[in-house]
Amino acid sequence: MEDYLAHAKVFKALGDPKRAFILNMLSYGELCACVILEKFDMSQSTLSHHMKILCDCGLVNSRSEGKWTYYSLNQEAISKAMGFFNAVTSSKDNCISNEGFDCRKG
Q: Which residues bind DNA (CB under 7 A)?
A: 12, 15-16, 18, 32-34, 37, 41-46, 48-53, 62, 64, 66-69, 103
Rounded to a whole number, what is the distance in angstroms from the first to the last CA of the chain?
25
Rule CB under 8 A: which of 23-82 touch its own copies?
Answer: 23-24, 26-32, 34-35, 68, 73, 75, 78-79, 81-82
Q: Which of 21, 12, 30 is nearest to 75 (CA)?
A: 30
**Calpha distance 53→43 (Å, rounded):** 16
Rounded to 10 degrees, the C-alpha dihedral 10/15/16/19 comes to 30
Least separation in angstroms between residue 88's CB and its own copies is 4
Residues forming contacts to its own copies in the complex (CB under 8 A) are 1, 4-5, 7-9, 11-21, 23-24, 26-32, 34-35, 68, 73, 75, 78-79, 81-82, 84-90, 92, 95-98, 101-104
